[in-house]
Each structure stands twice: as structure tokens, then as C-alpha cells.
Amino acid sequence: MKHDPPTAVASTSHDPFPPGFFRRMDEAPDAEFYREPRFVTHIDDATIAALTQVYRELIPAGSRVLDLMSSWVSHLPPEVHYERVAGLGMNRQELERNPQLTDSVVHDLNATPELPFPDDSFEAVVNAVSIQYLTRPVDVFASVRRVLKPGGIHIIATSHRLFPTKAVAVWQSIEAAERLRLIAAYLQFARGWDEPRFLDRSPENADPLWIVYATRSGARVGR
């Protein structure tokens, strides 16, 4: 049975979603699941190239970038110089293998959604095909806003593959278009974001690629 996607309207609740939305088949600590490195990619080569092109278009050279839920690859364009590429992920070996990272930290966002970075640290935060694993996405998005400079961009890339035991229930019960609206709702409930935009960059005969991105507004948010 499918859940109806939440309507993106203003809310004062810190938990605007129904019980069970973020339940997972495997509720064991995530550190156990990610203990061993996985040196694999979760989208195919054509889709990786399409994602890299999106980053090329949306993230200016010289930016400070946070790769959220990072691994051993970041998919950023290799010819572009960024001032900083910080990686936040769950496996130290994967992060150390990533050649694009300038620094990294192991951090479980489901246990502690607050990001371990100062305010206004980055011009861009990216999340590649991992949003489906967040159990506290609104809290994470609020923290992403905090670490972005005003006008900074948050880019969330999604596809159709996942680890079914760790993906949250709502993600597995709705279709692709509803998933994009769900991400937009996360942004709305987190507050302090300009209107999200949507891209379909799915290559032919390859894994699909859907993008939601939004910029941090300049308005003060009292959270």
C-alpha cells in the first residue's frame, strides 16, 4: 500500500510525518552495516557521467563542497578545482580511497543529524543516491542549511537502486515522482530554502537520474 506524499506546507512540527515513515527492515546500528567497505558504484557509467555534468553546471569552480553520505567516489568533475571537498560518510576506508576529498569525517547522520562543521562552511552540499537512508531527513536538511553560506546550493541526486533493508519505508512505497516531492517536503519542513528545482537527466538505456536542488535563502530561521 502506498503512502500519500506529504504536502509541502509550512509546519511548526519537528516531526511532521506519520509514524512508520522512516522505519527500516534492519534497525540495527548503521555502523554495523557499513563496517566493511564497498568499493562499488551504485549507478552505471552513463548515469555517473550525467551526474558529473550536473555538478559541472551547478557548482562554480573554487567552491567549498561537502559530499554528504560520501564513499570512495564523489562524481565531481575531475578537471574543476574546488577550494575544499569534505567528505562525510560511514566507512573510513572508503573515504580514504576517495581521491577528490581534501578532508573527511566518519559520522552517522541517523544517530546525530547535526553536521560537525561550523556555520557558513560551504558553497555547495551534494548527496548522491543516498537520501533514501536518512531516518531524520528534516533535521539533516536544517543542518545542511546551517553549514551552507547564504545562496549556497544543496543538490540531491536519486536513482532507483538501494539497499532494501536500510532504505526507509516511505521511500520504498512511493514512485519516482512522489520521491521528488518528498524531498521537496523535507526542504520545506526544514525551512530556510528557496523554491526547489527538479531535473531529469536520465540517460537512455541506463540507470535513471533525478535531481532536486535548492539554494539556502538569506532569511533568518529560528530553529
Q: Which of 48, 62, 58 is nearest to 102 (CA)?
A: 62
Contacts of 118 (CB under 8 A, 6+ apart): 147
Give the pLDDT of residue 4: 36
Nearest Cα to Cα of residue 15 among 119, 128, 139? 139
DSSP 18: P
pLDDT of residue 219: 62
pLDDT band at 15 (very low <50, low <70, confident <90, very high): low
Q: How far is CA 74 from CA 7, 41, 100, 148, 188, in A?
A: 32, 10, 7, 19, 26
CB contact set of 151 (below 8 Å; sequence gap of 6+): 215, 216, 218
Torsion angle, alpha carbons of 31, 101, 127, 74, to 10 = -100
Describe the strand order of the beta sheet including 84-89 as a list of residue ranges: 103-106, 84-89, 64-70, 122-128, 148-158, 210-215, 197-200
- Say what the pLDDT of residue 32 is: 83
Q: What is the pTM of this model?
A: 0.88
Domains along the chain?
A: 30-215 (3.40.50.150)
In Å, what is the CA distance from 161 to each residue of 41, 53, 71? 11, 20, 16
Chain segment 100-145, per-residue pLDDT in tens: 999 999 999 999 999 999 999 999 999 999 999 999 999 999 999 9
pLDDT tens by residue, 189-213: 999 999 999 999 999 999 999 999 9
Mean pLDDT of 154-172: 90
Local structure of residue 4 (DSSP, 8 states): P
pLDDT at 42: 75
8 A C-beta contact, residue 147 and residue 115: yes
CA angle 162, 163, 164 (to 5 degrees): 100
